[in-house]
């Protein structure tokens, strides 16, 4: 099934579709019929057509040859701190988790140049990771502020239960699957908002994918990636 919606912006039109259809964003496809008109005397709205139900669910899966997902080079994975800065960072992180009301033990997972990977082992890992990794990102941000005061060159990457690796693999698989749909149907698809690192994963993964191209849309930190047929 399909239906058309209008809004002052593309996102407003999509939000109207979500409210009226009672569906999540990943349950329908979006085709842009009329783009936003920019200019001093702009009057036109964005018009979209959404495909849902049978039109969306009965697609034939096109086989996609997935490239090997690149993994972080682990030049040194001794879990014990090798200097005073590493020891202080691990102590800070363990204390932070404890003050959040949870138990956890951090250890070094890799070292690469000035980048330090730290893995958090905890019975509360699902809470520490949070929805879509937002809690883990917040803890990582705080830890990097502390580490930057010790040494401005240090970059800390936090993980728990291999969440980041699994999340990266999921994003890339989703990008390949969506790109195959765009190539087959000829209709563009707008992905959910992503942070800069996630968008870069999509752009890189589809850089050599025949028949499609990608571009980022929106403002702020969390933008959306559009996958569209290559002209």
Domain count, the chain: 3
Choice between 7 and 94, residue whose per-residue pLDDT is larger = 94
Predicted pLDDT at 75: 54
Q: For residue 126, what is the domain's CATH number?
A: 3.30.300.20
- Domain assignment present for residue 38? The answer is yes
The pLDDT-based confidence of 119 (bands split at 50, 70, 90) is very high
Predicted pLDDT at 43: 53
Q: For residue 210, what is the domain's CATH number?
A: 3.30.1370.50
Average pLDDT of span 114-131:
90
Phi, psi of 82 (to 5 degrees): -100, -5
Average confidence score pLDDT of the chain: 81
Asked whether residue 118 falls in the same domain as residue 172, the answer is no
- Domain assignment present for residue 223? The answer is yes
122 has pLDDT over 70? yes
Q: Which domain covers residue 54, as residue numbers?
A: 1-59
Average pLDDT of span 12-22:
84
Asked whether residue 153 falls in the same domain as residue 90, the answer is yes
Average pLDDT of span 110-124:
90
Asked whether residue 140 falls in the same domain as residue 178, the answer is no
* Contact between 100 and 127 (Cβ < 8 Å): no
pLDDT in tens, 149-207: 999 999 999 999 889 888 889 999 999 999 999 999 999 999 998 888 889 999 999 99
Predicted pLDDT at 147: 94
Choice between 29 and 8, residue whose per-residue pLDDT is larger = 8
Q: In the beta sheet, which residues pair with residue 2?
A: 51
- Domain assignment present for residue 107? The answer is yes
Token code pair at residue 134: 């937002």
Predicted pLDDT at 79: 74
* Contact between 95 and 85 (Cβ < 8 Å): no
Asked whether residue 136 falls in the same domain as residue 195, the answer is no
Task: Please report where in the chains the tokens 């009965």 appear, as a residue.
Answer: 58
Predicted pLDDT at 14: 83
- Domain assignment present for residue 78? The answer is no
Average pLDDT of span 91-104:
93
Asked whether residue 157 falls in the same domain as residue 176, the answer is no
Choice between 77 and 134, residue whose per-residue pLDDT is larger = 134
* Contact between 106 and 94 (Cβ < 8 Å): yes
Average pLDDT of span 35-51:
63
Q: Quick one: which of 211, 104, 101 has its CA closest to 158?
A: 104
pTM for the model: 0.56
Out of 20, 44, 59, a domain closes at: 59
- Domain assignment present for residue 109? The answer is yes
Asked whether residue 142 falls in the same domain as residue 173, the answer is no
- Domain assignment present for residue 182? The answer is yes
Predicted pLDDT at 174: 94
């Amino acid at each position: 099934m399909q239906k058309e919606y209008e809004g002052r912006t593309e996102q407003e039109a999509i939000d109207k579709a979500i409210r009226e259809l009672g569906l999540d964003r990943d349950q329908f496809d979006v085709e842009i019929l009329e783009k936003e008109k920019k200019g001093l005397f702009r009057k036109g709205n964005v018009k979209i057509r959404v495909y849902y139900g049978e039109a969306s669910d009965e697609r034939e899966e096109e086989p996609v040859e997935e490239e090997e997902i690149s993994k972080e080079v682990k030049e040194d994975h001794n879990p014990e701190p090798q200097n005073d800065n590493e020891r202080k960072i691990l102590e800070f992180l363990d204390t932070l988790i404890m003050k959040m009301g949870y138990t956890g033990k951090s250890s070094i997972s890799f070292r690469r140049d000035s980048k330090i990977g730290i893995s958090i082992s905890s019975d509360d890992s699902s809470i520490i990771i949070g929805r879509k990794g937002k809690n883990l990102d917040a803890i990582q941000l705080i830890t990097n502020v502390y580490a930057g005061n010790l040494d401005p060159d240090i970059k800390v990457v936090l993980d728990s239960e291999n969440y980041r690796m699994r999340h990266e693999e999921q994003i890339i698989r989703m990008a390949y699957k969506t790109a195959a749909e765009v190539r087959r149907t000829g209709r563009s698809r707008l992905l959910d908002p992503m942070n800069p690192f996630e968008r870069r994963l999509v752009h890189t993964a589809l850089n050599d994918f025949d028949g499609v191209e990608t571009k980022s849309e929106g403002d702020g930190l969390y933008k959306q990636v559009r996958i569209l047929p290559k002209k």
